[in-house]
Amino acid sequence: MYLKNVHLASIWCHVVREIVRTVHLVNEYFLGIAMKRILLFLGTNLAIVLVLSVTMRLLGVEPYLNANGLNLGSLLIFAAVMGFGGSFISLAISKWSVKKSMGVQVIETPSNSTEFWLVETIRKYATEAGIEMPEVGIYQAPEVNAFATGMSKNSSLIAVSTGLLQQMSRAEVEAVLGHEVAHAANGDMVTLALIQGVVNTFVMFLSRVIGHLVDKVVFKTERGHGPAFFITMIIAELVLGILASIIVMWFSRQREFRADRGGARLAGRQNMIAALQRLNALHPQPLPDRMAAFGIAGGGGSGFKRLLMTHPPLEERIAALKASQER
């Protein structure tokens, strides 16, 4: 049985790799930059959900819940495995997937003065922040942006776009690098993965409880679950998923203010303010969904859209830094 399970796990790991690789190849040949990022994000998450769903079915957890009513303890364990599993698998493969999807070239040995300066600046900031040296990379893109990712603060990747290097001064780039090192040092990647795991768990748990109650109380289904359970569960997942996203995005925006303060400590407050002002003038494009929370800039928005923003408006971030300077 053990060998069978190991073999099964190996097969499904191969399935994940093949799905992501296929999506990446389709992206390369047929799609533009924006669609590439969206499709790779959806493909990666689809692969993760597929593997987890099949695994739980093979273990007999989901059929057991459906056949024997609703055991809240078992349901909570099921929801936690699915909720945290997807979140942490996505985090675990974040460096690998972003290198593939965005073509990040990791600087192993600097080949010119710009690469040497990038590596040494990040090395200096990492030492000051008390973390191990991150991997440093550059990716080809005209938009001005940078991001940090990785499984932990001591195993991170910081990458910058060629557009950022071309359109910002060295002092401004150093401030952006300080911001990204602060993300890594603050453990923002793991923190948001934990938060995402918690809200995923409760979305799955509550949607199934709501579906069960509607099916049994309103539609009076006596044996197993009827269509009302599945329809209600899907609707509840959509509604609760939106509410969960609002919670996660709120935490993401708060961590941007903290990373700005960290960047100001490492690179100088005036340089951090100047970098944000420059970004505001350049109107940077947001990163793919999976990376958006850890970039230097995100898209703007108002009304309900504002609740789903990964980043606060640049004007608010600049004002917050100026206000902290005056205190």
How far apart CA 107 and CA 277 sit, in angstroms, is: 28
pLDDT tens column, 258-290:
999 999 999 999 999 999 999 988 876 555 555
Q: Identify which of 194-198, 204-208, 233-237 has the greatest average pLDDT.
A: 233-237
CA angle centred on 94, ends 91 and 98, rounded to 5°: 160
**Does residue 202 fall inside a structural domain?**
no
pLDDT tens column, 222-258:
787 889 999 999 999 999 888 888 888 898 899 999 9
Domain that holds residue 108: 103-189+251-326
**Does residue 142 fall inside a structural domain?**
yes
**Does residue 39 fall inside a structural domain?**
no
Residue 215: exposure state from Cβ atoms within 10 A (0-12, 13-18, ≥19)? buried
**Does residue 118 fall inside a structural domain?**
yes
Amino acid at 282: L
User: Residue 149: which of 136, 162, 165 has the closest Cα?
Assistant: 136
**Does residue 86 fall inside a structural domain?**
no
Q: Is the confidence at residue 186, as pLDDT, over 90? A: yes
Which residues are identified as catalytic?
Answer: 180
250: Cβ contacts below 8 Å, ≥ 6 apart: 307
Supply the CATH number for residue 136's domain: 3.30.2010.10
pLDDT band at 15 (very low <50, low <70, confident <90, very high): low
**Does residue 173 fall inside a structural domain?**
yes
pLDDT band at 209 (very low <50, low <70, confident <90, very high): confident
- Structural domain count, the chain: 1
**Does residue 291 fall inside a structural domain?**
yes
* Summary mean pLDDT of the chain: 80
**Does residue 56 fall inside a structural domain?**
no
